[in-house]
Amino acid sequence: MAFLLRWWGRYAGGLVLTALVLTSAWILRETNGAAIRELYRLLSLPFQGAVEDQQALIQARTWQLEQQLAAVQAENQRLRQMLNAPMLPNFNGRIVPVIGRSSHQWWRSLLLGEGSRQGLTIGSVVVGNGGLVGRITSITPNTSRVMLLTDPASRVGVVVGRTRQMGILRGQLNQQVIVEFLEKDPKVQPKDVLYTSALSSLYPAGIPIGEVQSVELSDPTRPHATVILGAPIDRLEWVTVIPYAEPTDTPTAN
């Protein structure tokens, strides 16, 4: 018995430390780092600003609202021929702080300071001051991970507001994204505004995305345009989260 007590006194600290390390590694693996994200959120709380300053958010959202109005006017001209014209989404969502983003994932994702406990869900649409930002792809009780439009893996169905031509948007790790059109002659030009398409399965129709900067039509098999996003993806501090359920009928684009 004395031998066991001496052995325990000598090695107890190391055994406990080893057990803690192994347990922590197992928890991180099983939760995909959710515990670290929750801890990060708690540590960052003192550095988050107040939500009360709504005036700055309203002023910064002017471009987005102007483009939403333009889309409404364009749709009204077609209501007699299109009884099932899609309604623009309600942008009244929940304002949520951005609490973190990795330097090597800067244009791919960001972390929000609220999660399922505050009512957020996977698939919710994220809008910034100026237009669409992305969508929530993973969630914990108090944090949410957002996949950004600028991620090369992102695909969004879009429509040109002026001509109603359809295309597919993909990110390229900066404020400019590429839109590949579905027609050989999309009749698009610089300054045209793009919106989410009614054919999108992951986003409601009519959310402003950005303006066409340049058009490349020399290759008829791949007509495309470079688009500047309306939302400042590289310096987001607050976003609006809009609940959205993926349609169950026959969407053709994300």
Task: Indicate the helix (H) or strand (E) that contains 1.
Answer: none
- 203 and 135 in contact (C-beta within 8 Å)? yes
pLDDT at 186: 85
Residue 135, pLDDT > 80, answer yes
The answer to whether residue 252 is domain-embedded is no
The answer to whether residue 114 is domain-embedded is yes
pLDDT at 99: 94
21: left (phi over 0), alpha (psi -120 to 50) or beta: alpha
pLDDT at 84: 42
Could you report the per-residue pLDDT of 24-61, keeping only the tens digit for each?
A: 665 656 656 566 666 666 666 555 555 455 565 666 67
pLDDT at 69: 75
Residue 206 structure tokens:
């009519």
Task: Compute the chain's Rg from CA coordinates.
Answer: 23
Residue carrying the six token digits 């399965």: 201
pLDDT bucket at 82, cuts 50 / 70 / 90: very low
One domain for residues 59 and 167: no
Which domain-ending residue is among 87, 102, 131? 87
pLDDT at 184: 83
pLDDT at 157: 94
One domain for residues 76 and 16: yes
Can you give the pTM of this predicted structure?
A: 0.66
Q: Please report how the helices 2-31 and 34-44 are oriented relative to each other, as an axis angle in degrees rounded to 10.
A: 90
pLDDT at 97: 94
One domain for residues 123 and 54: no
Task: Indicate the helix (H) or strand (E) that contains 8.
Answer: helix 2-31
One domain for residues 129 and 199: yes
Domain total in the chain = 2
CATH number at residue 128: 2.40.10.340
Lowest mean pLDDT among 3-7, 74-78, 87-91: 87-91
One domain for residues 144 and 83: no
The answer to whether residue 212 is domain-embedded is yes
The answer to whether residue 103 is domain-embedded is yes
Quick count: other Cβ atoms within 10 Å of Cβ 96? 22
pLDDT at 150: 96
The answer to whether residue 240 is domain-embedded is yes
Determine the structural domain holding residue 77 and report its residue range: 12-87
Which domain-ending residue is among 33, 64, 87? 87
Cα separation, 80 vs 155, whole angstroms: 32
One domain for residues 105 and 225: yes
One domain for residues 129 and 52: no
pLDDT bucket at 22, cuts 50 / 70 / 90: low
pLDDT at 81: 43
pLDDT bucket at 221, cuts 50 / 70 / 90: confident
Which domain-ending residue is among 67, 87, 107? 87
